[in-house]
Amino acid sequence: MTSVVERLSAELGMGGIVLSERTEVAAYAIDWTKKFSGETPCILRPHNTEEVARCVRACGKLGLKLVPQGGNTGLVGASVPRGGEIVLSLSRLNKIEEFDEASATVQVGAGVVLQALHDDLAACGHVFPVDLGARGSCQIGGMIATNAGGIKVLRYGHMREQVLGLEVVLADGTILNNLNKLRKNNTGLDLKHLFVGSEGVLGIITRAVLQARPAPQALQTALLAVETRDRLPELLTVLRDKLRGLSSLEMITQESITLYKEVEPEARLPFERSYPACVIVEEETGAGESERNSFLERLSSVLESGLAVDAVVAESDTQARRIWSLRDGVTEAISRAGLTHKFDVTVPPAAMPAFLDQMEAFGEEAGELRTLLFGHLGDGNIHVNMMQMPGLSQAAFYAKGPALAERIYGHVAKLHGSISAEHGIGIAKRGYLHHSRSTEEVDLMRGVKHLLDPDCMLNPGVLFESN
Ligand code: FAD
Ligand code: MLT
Ligand code: ZN
């Protein structure tokens, strides 16, 4: 009897696409959190859209299921195989194809890594305004499929707001070309939005046209210390008012900073004493001394109000990077320190202080967990991490997950928040979707899935518990 790999290779008839060496396959089969992993016979690594379409058709013909994969930095278990699916890696579709200065648009392959796009546009005096800690690995296709957010949503929105056009390979191998560059194009249903945030269950994104922006003339960055978390909503309101060019507003609580220092003992912390929370602000301003002075004056008025009690203002790009390394470093530190239950939620900003306290109380009650809170303050998006404490076995740690999730998501639903602010549903949250979406909405989502992928070939088990 011939193996899956042999049948696929024969069907594809293209050399260099099928990767089945066990040692090489392993990295594609486990996710970034090390929580989700599975078996796969092989990885398909096409070079272009036509090859993607051939791979999809071949899998369809052989009755094989597919998991699309970009940089494999997703945090909800949707980018790795669960039950023997074939992994379709988009990494080789990594060309930045065209920058159109007049429309400030850029056309890219799905496998372009975010950092490469940032670097390329910087050379043309432009920026791509989505940025996140996984920038060195995550790919544009994966970011579109998860509708990634990150640290600039406050000013520029998610991926959805940047996508003008898409090319997608559908489950039957059809290539849907909608590489639209126009800002204004109201010609019927805007189909690209179906695929943004679809987590690989509706089609394979192969190319995108994205909106670039002129690079800001100057960026002002500061780290503020707050004496009480209770006044974070007021601080948010005042900062939005005083810093009209606000592009980032991030929050890190003390316990997260403590963990960062434990994992990175060499790191120099910005303040000599510790505060309940620190807030990073970044404002886009014009160039020159007067703009800088205006920023400093407006920041001083925030400090005078008592909403923040200390500040470190970056004097150079290097200092700004040091401030940001604290924020990125917390996410990295959590992953290096051990296993964690991740909850990525949105709550109305006014409810945030009580919510933070409640999360710590839930963690305490669950026992032997360390609660770490940080996130995108400007969007009401809190990353709740409940880490395994030393002494708690892996099995006992995992066993705490479902009850914690039920408690946290139930609480979020009562606050009219969202159980997934930016990471998606994937495998991790599919059992809790009802906390944020009505039965009618989920039924309609299933209907769309059935229409586009009747045999459930693409990412089975993602989003819905049963297909
Ligand atoms: P993958 O992980 O490979 O895939 C993610 C999903 O998209 C899967 O369902 C996969 O099947 C699907 N997919 C991938 N490529 C395609 C394609 N071409 N066509 C169709 N489906 C596809 N997210 C945020 O929103 N904000 C953050 O601030 C943020 N910070 C992060 C920081 C770190 C350190 C890490 C590790 C992750 C972070 N994330 C964040 C998670 C985020 O979802 C991903 O980093 C990114 O959006 C996923 O891109 P990827 O290429 O790695 O996709
Ligand atoms: C972040 O903002 O750092 C992320 O979304 C990653 C995380 O939640 O760990
Ligand atoms: Zn985030």
Residues with Cβ within 8 Å of 164's Cβ and at least 6 positions away in sequence, in order, are: 105, 180, 181, 182, 183, 192, 209, 210, 211
Residue 367 CA to residue 390 CA, distance in Å, equals 12
Q: The whole model's pTM is what?
A: 0.98
Phi-psi domain of 406 (left: phi exceeds 0; alpha: psi -120 through 50; beta: other)? alpha
Residue 189 CA to residue 194 CA, distance in Å, equals 10
- The ligand placed nearest to the CA atom of residue 422 is 1
Tokens of 384: 């709740």
Nearest to 36 by CA among 81, 6, 101, 71: 81
Q: What is the mean pLDDT of each run of 10 residues along the chain (467 residues)?
A: 91 90 95 95 97 98 98 98 96 98 98 98 98 98 98 98 98 97 96 98 98 98 98 97 97 97 94 96 98 98 96 97 96 94 97 98 97 97 96 96 98 98 98 97 98 98 85
Q: Which ligand 2 atom is at minimum distance from the Cα of 149?
A: 5
Q: From the CA of 142, how far away is ligand 1's center (Å)? A: 5
Q: From the CA of 65, how far away is ligand 1's center (Å)? A: 20
Rounded to 5°, angle at Cα 91 from 50 and 190: 60
Q: From the CA of 409, how far away is ligand 1's center (Å)? A: 22
Residue nearest atom 8 of ligand 2, based on CA coordinates: 383
Residue 26 CA to residue 161 CA, distance in Å, equals 35
pLDDT at position 14: 79
Q: From the CA of 424, how far away is ligand 1's center (Å)? A: 9
Q: Which ligand 1 atom is at minimum distance from the Cα of 31?
A: 2
3-state secondary structure of 179: coil
Residue 270 CA to residue 280 CA, distance in Å, equals 12
Tokens of 115: 């950092």
pLDDT at position 396: 97
331 ligand 2 Cβ < 6 A: yes
Tokens of 424: 């998606």
- Per residue in 328-344, is it b (16+ CB within 10 Å) or e — as a string? bbbbebbbebebbbbbb
Q: Which ligand 2 atom is at minimum distance from the Cα of 250?
A: 2
Question: Residue 385: what are its φ and ψ, rounded to 5°?
Answer: -115, 130
Query: Can you tell me which residue has the tokens 């005083």?
Result: 242
Amino acid letter, 101? E
pLDDT at position 15: 83
* H or E stretch at 408: helix 401-414
- The ligand placed nearest to the CA atom of residue 130 is 1
